[in-house]
Amino acid sequence: MANSQLFSSLRGLMAPSATARNESGGLAYARSPEQALALYAATGCLNGTYYASDETQLSTVLALCEQVSPAFVARTAVYARQVAHMKDMPALLLATLASRDADLFARVFPRVVDNGRMLRNFVQVMRSGRTGRKSLGTLPKRLVRAWLARASSEQIVQAAIGNAPSLADVIRMVHPKPADAEREALYAWVIGKPFREDVLPPKVRAYEAFKRAPQGALPEVPFQYLTSLSLDAARWKTLARTVSWQTLRMSVNTFARNGVFDDEATVADVAGRLRSPSEIARARVFPYQLLAACQAGSQLPAQIFDALQEAMEIATRNVPVIEGRVVVGVDVSGSMGAPVTGFRKGATSSVRCVDVAALIAACLQRNNPMARVLPFDTQVHRVELNPRDSVLTQAGRLAGVGGGGTSISAPIAQLNREKAQADLVVLVSDSESWRDTRSGGATETMRQWSELKARCPQAKLVCIDLQPIVSSQVVERDDVLHVGGFSDAVFELLAVFAAEGAGATRWVDRIASIDL
């Protein structure tokens, strides 16, 4: 009799054999260079992750850029900045273009370098030599000078915050030609040379006067210029009412230490700003950033903490309502305890991958109350969730379980054991499955999905990846969508795919269709 294990009947559709191993040693499928670059662009912060160092991540991105066309690199850089709202990765992709395609580089430069922070990031990457050159070169210098010439005085003042390189360093590198006496004085002010105070922009002139004699109204300069000055409680309260929403969100504890929340009127004003839908929309805030603010703000006045929670609800209320039976698998394994933006000395986020995965699941269940949420590591864990609870409460409950190895097949296997029906399965993970791996053949996730498809031929699978990785656990095809990142774009793609299925525009196709 033939080997019964080797020649046993396959359940479901034929599952393709794995083509790679992931960083954890498990069977996996190699992504195309375009798919891998898109994932790195939307999730990579060029910091160390649980399985890869920052050097490995950088080397991988540079290698992927060489494997795809310059046009795709250009479009991915635009997507990473304008849609995924990333900071370091768009600058790196743009820098690689400087040596490959000067025309594309010049065309996308203003779309990627859209503020002073991005300008300094780009110059830092170029000067590092990691993209093939240590000097800016003629064209990059011209584009940097053009950015400085276009920038308003307020943008120049804002751009002058930060180092390595500072805006002063950038100005010294490119030698911009001032258009008038005011800009000449402003450049001199930025780089620390003697300047004519009488022709400085009015706000900078007011700041210099305030430094000498801190009397009267606060000058209208960025928050960071004022925090080093000796300010009384009244002026701190004025700042809380006037700083940008993002600065307010990041600085609530600083304001608390300086007596801002000592009176009810100021507390009410600040809470009103934090929960303002229009200000939240303009800030382009990531839900995970609000999660971080809530985690750090538990000691704040109740009205401020409640406003942060309400801001979270507002920032995530555009999560789609999806027809049919929805199942969300949330990876709560040990590797998901790594910071979502990676490890960087002195700047590691307190928000973990598991926090973001739980947040995505909680958002989906809030707008789809009948959705099943299955947290898993090597097995599915039972967690009781109330869809009426806040997103923050649900996310905290989900993130509090698990911590073992990773079997991404676990939630689908659970559905198969139950012979359950499903229309949409969403897996939120770092894709580093290893405990369910085999010696060869298909990944266990692909095998389980093939079995589920035999029972539910209409079912669709969405894999949301939170970390950069060149492999996946399932092959992308008509019924399977891969998407990466933690911006609102993920929910939009998920909704379109759930509604349109095979006819939906894929994530990589959306990037490839960006008009240059």
At 399-414, the pLDDT tens digits run 888 889 999 999 999 9
- pTM score of the predicted model: 0.88
- Band the pLDDT of 13: cuts 50, 70, 90: low
- Band the pLDDT of 8: cuts 50, 70, 90: very low
The structural domains of the chain, with segments of one domain joined by +, span: 69-221, 230-315, 320-512
Residues 264-277: tens digit of each pLDDT: 999 999 999 999 99
Cα 426 to chain centroid distance, Å, stands at 19
Annotate 50-82 with b (16+ C-beta within 10 A) or e (fewer): bbbebeebbebbbebbeebebebbbbbbbbbbb
Average pLDDT over residues 125-137: 88
- Band the pLDDT of 261: cuts 50, 70, 90: very high
Query: Which of 24-33, 117-126, 170-179, 385-394 shows the lowest per-residue confidence on average (mean pLDDT)?
Result: 385-394
* The CATH number of domain 320-512, selected from 3.40.50.410, 3.40.50.200, 1.10.760.10, 3.30.1490.190: 3.40.50.410
Helices and strands, number each (H, E), in the chain? 25, 8
Cα separation, 196 vs 469, whole angstroms: 53
Q: In 3-state terms, what secondary structure has residue 368?
A: coil
| Average pLDDT along the chain | 89
Q: Check residue 369 and give its pLDDT.
A: 83
Peptide bond just before 301 cis, omega within 30 deg: no
Question: What would the two tokens of residue 213 be?
Answer: 């004699």
Q: In 3-state terms, what secondary structure has residue 86?
A: coil
Cα separation, 247 vs 120, whole angstroms: 20
Residue pair 221/207 in contact (Cβ under 8 Å)? The answer is yes
**Inter-axis angle of helices 264-274 and 233-242, to 10 degrees?**
20
Average pLDDT over residues 24-50: 90
User: Quick check: 1 pLDDT over 50?
Assistant: no
Question: What would the two tokens of residue 182 be?
Answer: 């005011």
Q: Check residue 208 and give its pLDDT.
A: 94
- Band the pLDDT of 415: cuts 50, 70, 90: very high
